[in-house]
A and B are shown apart, each in its own frame.
Chain A
């Protein structure tokens, strides 16, 4: 089914790469201004913009890869955040870069680029993976959908067409930047399955396991246009992502919004998404780690294990992938850094703030991305905390931090610098397991609202 009439038209020309050379280090060429590595003069608009813009009461927008994206529809992101956890939220994540990789050598190319084993990725599955440079330093992380035996879709936060070209030279594979051709909506939250079912036809949501994909039609009736659904997301909750041809994007939005009326569906902006992903302990490129492409100095580069993505590295796989030798060496000597969860001691925080007669000014705030140092108790710096926020659900002040390997064990006591008014103070924190929040419904088979947590 996916083979025959896929979401994306397969090019007849699988022999040759069809892109033009782009900027070094991941720049790509094409029609869109952002692809030239230049900042567009006019902000770009996602295929959902006509829908999202009329709903954005706050007029609060953010640039994401050159696109104008809603930060928060309402003046504060709190209701949107709660929709993710208690009902469902609809998030426009179209600015992701998307590449179609098709041809007899498609699997071979992915197995060369990616740290995961794509010989084990069946058609109809999605794999979350890392990819590295020759030194084993992390370039990006992202999802790869296997749409057909010889056809994949890679979604990534940063451009990487050139990298695929360099890694796949002379392979019988066609790599295409289809970022502009596809809109993506994330439908996340406990009611997501019910809404998805009502908004589409031909997809058995009950049969979709975590990281499965399926194709169907938009709307309850026929003729709404094709949509591919993946059971994936960036919130750590039950959720799906809908991949649609840009011209059918608004039809998809309307179908989901219609279906969501009885389920408390809210459109959610990037601030709510950021809160949810931090709670889920998911790392974010450029915030929690720096891609080796962008790292200006060597010390900023990390391996997947150091970014908390060691589980995506499959050194037992057959194919020789870029960075393998370096990662084998790292396996033998152990990673120098670790990505950990931090829980800041709340009583300590209250005490510090009480010194200036305030309660901790962290509740009700979006996640903070200002990196701050992390110390051994009363001692030297052992790392940095890159994201932190007060979880409205868990009622805890939480952070994602990169620390020295020896300070990474759960339960380790550390100090983290916090801003208390104009002062910089050290608060006690403890290393805790990630994810901070991990409901069974996220991965449940045949998820049912109210039953799977």
Chain B
């Protein structure tokens, strides 16, 4: 049996696993289908001369200890912390709301829109941090049954994570923009509106991994999220890992219930004693291994994974900074949530349920050039507008739905930042179908499976087990966002896979 470990997928999780394993002296081959590394955290030249992040670009949740262990700083990674966490421009009902990592600064701003909300903010942040801290230890290792005790002794934590997010937030706050900002931080790529049960979970998850004693800040890599992938690849290569791009894995080879290696689309066969797949559960089991090799009840379990909540990204090259109502430049460095109230997100989720486009899409916008001007040519700014809560199986299809969505997004942007249309010089689009075709994101789901309590913690597969049972193929490990703790730029699924494999 080969000692080699093959890693399928060169997203950030695959790279973390490759770097950690190579550092421990293992013979590692990482195979990435695309020409560039990074997967859903890649940076691409979607617009000539611009470095456009294709997916995640907030490194706030990335495990710092992994960065240090892998000496990513030495391999060219430079982090920039955004001054602002999230902002909602001014609306007819409210002045602009900006959330900062610093409690006092946020309170000062909130005082302008709601004295009650300003007074409630410190307690909220404290409580959130406390609950997140209770959760954090559960997110960075395979869970054991005994860990359930941690949740059971924290009834408030359980209640918050299983409740509708909006309901929990309304226990403290009244300003619609503030509520929208918090929902906009929590709900991207979930598929669930803020009135759905279980939407408390994503906010806690976000804070558990991204914050400590303050609201999780937005952190970006200089040069775009792809710089993280580059640094990880450099670290892995320095430890001896072989990293191949343009290598499309068509099959994980199984011999008598054990992985034997992988076969590439061009017919090349690579022997391996272990395979870490960072592809989605659907791709890993149904496409790469193949349903006929698996027990039907396991196939059913794979088929039951929910992938709702697709997203589309519009990248705009602008002649200058757009004028979002009521937001000064520092406020433009974090997430810009374009929703007037939680209902705007709820209605988008409603439309998606019925396979329709949201009449008025809510947008998670970012201006990465506000922090890092090197991402666009001099004088230009880059705006990334991400539309969440989209149906993957859009009624009528994306061929006609894509242009229609763009028109609606353009109209929304104009409403929030009057005059922005006149600044647009070039644009590029990634639709849900592109995310599936380009990145193997099943149903365009950026988190490789919806992040809700029914698919989290013990209910999300971990590196070597799922629902308390070992994976059906020996020598197969899971290391993608589809397994514990889940999606987002955390590096944790990859880290857990590597650590589990090393422990045997």
Interface residues of chain A, those whose CB is within 8 Å of chain B, are 108, 112, 133-134, 163, 166-171, 322
A353 to B287 CA separation, bound complex (whole angstroms): 67
Partner of B300, one of A108, A166, A322: A166
Return chain A residues, CB-CB under 8 Å to B296. 133-134, 163, 166-167, 322
- Check B295 for interface membership: any CB of A closer than 8 A: yes
Evaluate contact between B295 and A134: CB separation under 8 angstroms. yes
Q: How far is the CB of B250 from chain A (nearest CB, A)?
A: 14
Partner of A166, one of B287, B290, B297: B297
Return chain B residues, CB-CB under 8 Å to A134. 295-297
Return chain A residues, CB-CB under 8 Å to B286. 169-170
A168 to B291 CA separation, bound complex (whole angstroms): 8
Give chain B's interface residue range (CB within 8 Å of chain A). 10 to 19
Q: How far is the CB of B473 from chain A (nearest CB, A)?
A: 14
Q: How far is the CB of A321 from chain B (nearest CB, A)?
A: 11
Evaluate contact between B295 and A170: CB separation under 8 angstroms. no
Q: How far is the CB of B323 from chain A (nearest CB, A)?
A: 49
Instruction: Output the residue of A170, A171, A322 with the most chain B CB within 10 A.
Output: A170
Top 6 nearest A-B pairs (CB, nearest first) are: A166-B296, A169-B291, A134-B295, A170-B291, A167-B296, A166-B300
**Contact string, B274-305, partner A, CB cutoff 8 A, digits 1/0?**
00000000000011001110011101100100
A322 to B298 CA separation, bound complex (whole angstroms): 12
Tally of A-B residue pairs with Cβ under 8 A?
29
Instruction: Output the residue of B286, B290, B292 with the most chain A CB within 10 A.
Output: B292
A49 to B13 CA separation, bound complex (whole angstroms): 63
Evaluate contact between B290 and A170: CB separation under 8 angstroms. yes
A166 to B295 CA separation, bound complex (whole angstroms): 9
A168 to B300 CA separation, bound complex (whole angstroms): 11
Partner of A322, one of B287, B290, B295: B295
A163 to B296 CA separation, bound complex (whole angstroms): 8
Chain B residue nearest to A166 (CB atoms) is B296
Evaluate contact between A169 and B297: CB separation under 8 angstroms. no
Return chain B residues, CB-CB under 8 Å to A171. 291-292
A134 to B292 CA separation, bound complex (whole angstroms): 13
**Contact string, B7-47, partner A, CB cutoff 8 A, digits 1/0?**
00000000000000000000000000000000000000000
Quick one: given A169-B286, A170-B286, are A112 and B292 in contact (CB under 8 Å)? yes
Evaluate contact between B292 and A166: CB separation under 8 angstroms. no
Return chain A residues, CB-CB under 8 Å to B297. 133-134, 166
Chain A residue nearest to B293 (CB atoms) is A320
A134 to B298 CA separation, bound complex (whole angstroms): 10
Evaluate contact between B303 and A169: CB separation under 8 angstroms. yes
Can you offer 17 A-B residue contacts whose CB atoms are under 8 A? A112-B292, A133-B296, A133-B297, A134-B295, A134-B296, A163-B296, A166-B296, A166-B299, A166-B300, A166-B303, A167-B299, A169-B286, A169-B299, A169-B303, A170-B287, A170-B291, A322-B295
**Contact string, B228-245, partner A, CB cutoff 8 A, digits 1/0?**
000000000000000000
Chain A residue nearest to B295 (CB atoms) is A134
Q: A163-B296, A170-B290, A170-B291 are in contact. List 12 more A-B contacts (CB 8 A).
A: A108-B292, A134-B296, A166-B297, A166-B300, A167-B296, A167-B299, A169-B291, A169-B299, A169-B303, A170-B287, A171-B291, A322-B295
Return chain A residues, CB-CB under 8 Å to B295. 134, 322
A168 to B294 CA separation, bound complex (whole angstroms): 10
Return chain A residues, CB-CB under 8 Å to B287. 170
Q: How far is the CB of A148 from chain B (nearest CB, A)?
A: 22
Return chain A residues, CB-CB under 8 Å to B299. 166-167, 169
A169 to B296 CA separation, bound complex (whole angstroms): 9
Return chain B residues, CB-CB under 8 Å to A112. 292
Q: How far is the CB of B384 from chain A (nearest CB, A)?
A: 36
A167 to B290 CA separation, bound complex (whole angstroms): 11
A163 to B295 CA separation, bound complex (whole angstroms): 11
Return chain B residues, CB-CB under 8 Å to A108. 292
Evaluate contact between A170 and B300: CB separation under 8 angstroms. no
Q: How far is the CB of B266 from chain A (nearest CB, A)?
A: 22
Q: How far is the CB of B303 from chain A (nearest CB, A)?
A: 7
A221 to B428 CA separation, bound complex (whole angstroms): 70
A112 to B290 CA separation, bound complex (whole angstroms): 13
Q: How far is the CB of A136 from chain B (nearest CB, A)?
A: 12
Chain A residue nearest to B291 (CB atoms) is A169
Return chain A residues, CB-CB under 8 Å to B290. 170
Return chain A residues, CB-CB under 8 Å to B300. 166
Chain A residue nearest to B287 (CB atoms) is A170
Return chain B residues, CB-CB under 8 Å to A167. 296, 299
Chain B residue nearest to A105 (CB atoms) is B292
Instruction: Output the residue of A108, A133, A167, A168 with the most chain B CB within 10 A.
Output: A167
A134 to B286 CA separation, bound complex (whole angstroms): 18
Chain B residue nearest to A171 (CB atoms) is B292
Q: How far is the CB of A41 from chain B (nearest CB, A)?
A: 28
Q: How far is the CB of A109 from chain B (nearest CB, A)?
A: 9
Instruction: Output the residue of A112, A163, A166 with the most chain B CB within 10 A.
Output: A166
A108 to B292 CA separation, bound complex (whole angstroms): 10
A52 to B292 CA separation, bound complex (whole angstroms): 44
Q: How far is the CB of B277 from chain A (nearest CB, A)?
A: 17
Chain A residue nearest to B286 (CB atoms) is A170
A167 to B291 CA separation, bound complex (whole angstroms): 8
A245 to B295 CA separation, bound complex (whole angstroms): 35
A167 to B297 CA separation, bound complex (whole angstroms): 8
A112 to B295 CA separation, bound complex (whole angstroms): 10
A194 to B422 CA separation, bound complex (whole angstroms): 88
**Contact string, B301-316, partner A, CB cutoff 8 A, digits 1/0?**
0010000000000000
A57 to B50 CA separation, bound complex (whole angstroms): 85
Chain B residue nearest to A322 (CB atoms) is B296
Return chain B residues, CB-CB under 8 Å to A168. 291
Q: How far is the CB of A291 from chain B (nearest CB, A)?
A: 15
Q: How far is the CB of B429 from chain A (nearest CB, A)?
A: 29
Instruction: Output the residue of A108, A133, A169, A170 with the most chain B CB within 10 A.
Output: A169
Return chain A residues, CB-CB under 8 Å to B291. 168-171
Q: How far is the CB of B258 from chain A (nearest CB, A)?
A: 15
A171 to B294 CA separation, bound complex (whole angstroms): 13
**Contact string, B200-215, partner A, CB cutoff 8 A, digits 1/0?**
0000000000000000
Chain A residue nearest to B298 (CB atoms) is A134
A134 to B301 CA separation, bound complex (whole angstroms): 14
Q: How far is the CB of B50 from chain A (nearest CB, A)?
A: 40
Q: How far is the CB of A418 from chain B (nearest CB, A)?
A: 41
Return chain B residues, CB-CB under 8 Å to A133. 296-297
Q: How far is the CB of B21 from chain A (nearest CB, A)?
A: 31
A322 to B472 CA separation, bound complex (whole angstroms): 14
Chain B residue nearest to A21 (CB atoms) is B303
A134 to B296 CA separation, bound complex (whole angstroms): 8
A227 to B389 CA separation, bound complex (whole angstroms): 52
A284 to B300 CA separation, bound complex (whole angstroms): 28
Return chain B residues, CB-CB under 8 Å to A170. 286-287, 290-292
Q: How far is the CB of A158 from chain B (nearest CB, A)?
A: 16
A322 to B293 CA separation, bound complex (whole angstroms): 10
A416 to B296 CA separation, bound complex (whole angstroms): 40
A171 to B299 CA separation, bound complex (whole angstroms): 13
Q: How far is the CB of A160 from chain B (nearest CB, A)?
A: 11
A163 to B287 CA separation, bound complex (whole angstroms): 20
A108 to B297 CA separation, bound complex (whole angstroms): 18
A25 to B300 CA separation, bound complex (whole angstroms): 11
**Contact string, B74-114, partner A, CB cutoff 8 A, digits 1/0?**
00000000000000000000000000000000000000000
A167 to B296 CA separation, bound complex (whole angstroms): 5
Q: How far is the CB of B373 from chain A (nearest CB, A)?
A: 48
Return chain A residues, CB-CB under 8 Å to B292. 108, 112, 170-171
Interface residues of B in 140-159 (CB under 8 A from A): none
Interface residues of B in 295-349 (CB under 8 A from A): 295-297, 299-300, 303
Chain A residue nearest to B301 (CB atoms) is A166
Q: How far is the CB of B104 from chain A (nearest CB, A)?
A: 52
A340 to B317 CA separation, bound complex (whole angstroms): 80
Q: How far is the CB of B286 from chain A (nearest CB, A)?
A: 6
A108 to B291 CA separation, bound complex (whole angstroms): 13
Q: How far is the CB of B291 from chain A (nearest CB, A)?
A: 4
A168 to B299 CA separation, bound complex (whole angstroms): 10
